[in-house]
A = this chain, B = another copy of it.
Amino acid sequence: MKISTKTQYGLKAIIYLAGNSKKGCFCSIKQIAESEGISPDYLEKIISKLEKAGILKAQKGAKGGYSLAMPAKKIKLGELVNVLEGENYFVQCLGGDKKSCSKCKGCLAQNFWQKFQEKLDNFLNSVSLEDLIKNKF
């Protein structure tokens, strides 16, 4: 139960983009990776996911790179976490994915984790990238 570096890197990347890709300007992977001290090859995979999810916008070819796909105000951190950690990132029934665990349906423990996940989601979806940058959370 830790924040994966994937998600931490992803957050650092969008913070960087929020600050550096103004006015239709794009930042390259290399640039972000160097600034944040991340392996460029790995960062590419992370950023690629964010682009497919519609959070970032890509510009191919020379002078290309990435920028936010929308104003920082509209990017909720919950989205970022969902994309990088997976939809049901926190709670997962012990019975496995395919076979729904009959024992767990309505069991006390599972109910609790479910509630826990909700609390998490609520918080993450209440904070936008802009809020984060302005330290308003």
Interface residues of A, Cβ cutoff 8 Å to B: 1-5, 7-8, 11-12, 15, 37, 77, 81, 85, 89-92, 94, 103, 108-109, 111-113, 115-116, 119-120, 123-124, 127, 132-133, 135, 137
User: Which chain B residues border A77 with CB–CB below 8 Å?
Assistant: 112
- B1 touching A7 by the CB < 8 A rule? yes
User: Which chain B residues border A109 with CB–CB below 8 Å?
Assistant: 8, 11-12, 15
User: Which chain B residues border A135 with CB–CB below 8 Å?
Assistant: 108, 111
Question: In the assembled complex, how far is the CB of residue A113 from the closest CB belonging to chain B, in whole angstroms?
Answer: 6
- A89 touching B1 by the CB < 8 A rule? yes
Question: In the assembled complex, how far is the CB of residue A33 from the closest CB belonging to chain B, in whole angstroms?
Answer: 13
User: Which chain B residues border A8 with CB–CB below 8 Å?
Assistant: 94, 109, 113
- A2 touching B89 by the CB < 8 A rule? yes
CA distance A47 to B5 in the complex (A): 30
**Which of the residues B3, B37, B113, B119 comes within 8 Å of A113, measured between beta carbons?**
B3
